[in-house]
Chains A and B, each alone.
Chain A
């Protein structure tokens, strides 16, 4: 229907998938190693963005708008998640005076 843009002809899909995998792995690393609850949240955002990138890439390469609509939904859900999550972090800080997740062990027997 239209001419395929240069980047889609030059760059293979695999490169984008690799980029998204690397960003996702970095996000996992952040969730596992950091103790500050806010930075853990940021790492989760990183993982969500890696998935968004994948959706957009496949949508562009397969010429299907449904992928980009899904990115839209993911963004909306991420916004709701951040609002509630940060409210919870603020509440934890009020009670414990810290956001260090390794100190939140009152459920331990």
Chain B
């Protein structure tokens, strides 16, 4: 049962990830990317990481994808999928990626990866309480630094998006 769920979610994730890359229309790419995020959230839920799953839905599928959709709507893009003249480049890219993925697969399948034993396993890891304790006890400085990063990103985005002098329209 749970194994079938895993394979179903994985199949859907890989399929929609491929569709992100190959679909001609950028809006279709965004929608498939949202589907990918939903399947990944499904994986997080099944792995007992409920908080990360919910945050993934809110931040990625909610905020970031809306930003992408807005930009595509603003820019009024034409379809420009794999247009010619780069056939050899694309072929070599596919070959390169296949080699990379092949090396990963060959090394991962026989790997022995240790897992927590029955004694030290804690199923409440993914809850807000546990994550908050870890975040504010061990990762307080990075947490504060992220806020500085956000401030600078916000200032940068506003500066970049501002209308320049002498510019008539968008």
Tell me which residues across on chain A come within 8 A of B97, comparing CB atoms.
25, 28-29, 32
Tell me which residues across on chain A come within 8 A of B3, comparing CB atoms.
10-11
- A42, B111: Cβ atoms closer than 8 Å: no
Q: A53-B43, A68-B126, A82-B64 are in contact. Are A17 and B108 (CB under 8 A)?
A: yes
- A60, B125: Cβ atoms closer than 8 Å: yes
Nearest Cβ on chain B to A93's Cβ, whole angstroms: 5
B15-62: which have CB < 8 Å to A?
Answer: 17-18, 20-21, 26, 29-30, 33, 36-37, 40, 43-44, 46-49, 51-52, 55-56, 59-60
- A19, B52: Cβ atoms closer than 8 Å: no
A1-18: which have CB < 8 Å to B?
Answer: 1-8, 10-18
Give the contact-size bracket for chain B.
35 or more
A53-71: which have CB < 8 Å to B?
Answer: 53, 56-57, 59-66, 68-69, 71
Q: Which residues of B contact A (CB under 8 A)?
A: 2-3, 5-6, 10, 13-14, 17-18, 20-21, 26, 29-30, 33, 36-37, 40, 43-44, 46-49, 51-52, 55-56, 59-60, 63-64, 67-68, 71-72, 74-75, 77, 80-83, 86, 89-90, 93-94, 96-97, 100-101, 104-105, 108-109, 111, 113-116, 118-126, 130-131, 133-135, 138-139, 142, 146, 149-150, 153-154, 156-157, 160-161, 167, 170
Q: Which residues of A contact B (CB under 8 A)?
A: 1-8, 10-19, 21-23, 25-30, 32-36, 38-39, 41-43, 45-46, 49, 52-53, 56-57, 59-66, 68-69, 71-73, 75-84, 86-91, 93-94, 99-100, 102
* 22 A-B pairs whose Cβ atoms sit less than 8 Å apart in the complex: A3-B123, A4-B118, A5-B123, A6-B2, A15-B10, A17-B108, A21-B104, A22-B101, A23-B13, A25-B97, A33-B94, A34-B82, A36-B26, A39-B21, A46-B33, A52-B52, A57-B43, A60-B126, A63-B121, A66-B138, A68-B49, A83-B154
